[in-house]
Amino acid sequence: MTLVTAVVFIILSTAAIFGWLLASEQIPQKVATLILNLTTNKYLVLLIINILLLIVGCFMDQTRL
């Protein structure tokens, strides 16, 4: 039981560090600016986000063992 708890805390602490790094480097703002520079049409923005999530999801599925 303690091993499972330790693994969960390691995952949470790594996610917190990664979130802090993204926020400090302003990555979400840069990505939003990049997408909005391509188009301001709300449907195209949603389409771009969905395509990006589809591509990322294909790679993330393969990393699972």
Q: Is the pLDDT of residue 62 over 70?
A: no
Q: Is the pLDDT of residue 61 over 80?
A: no
What pLDDT, in 10s, does the model give residues 20-60? 999 999 999 999 999 999 998 999 999 999 999 999 888 87
How many domains does the chain divide into?
1
**What's the pTM value of the predicted model, to 2 decimals?**
0.65
**Owning domain of residue 34:** 2-63
Amino acid at 30: K
Q: If residue 54 lies in a helix (H) or strand (E), which one and from where to where?
A: helix 42-63
pLDDT of residue 7: 92
Q: Two tokens at 52?
A: 């990006």
pLDDT of residue 57: 84
Q: What angle do CA 58, 9, 23 make, to 5 degrees?
A: 60
Q: Is the pLDDT of residue 65 over 70?
A: no
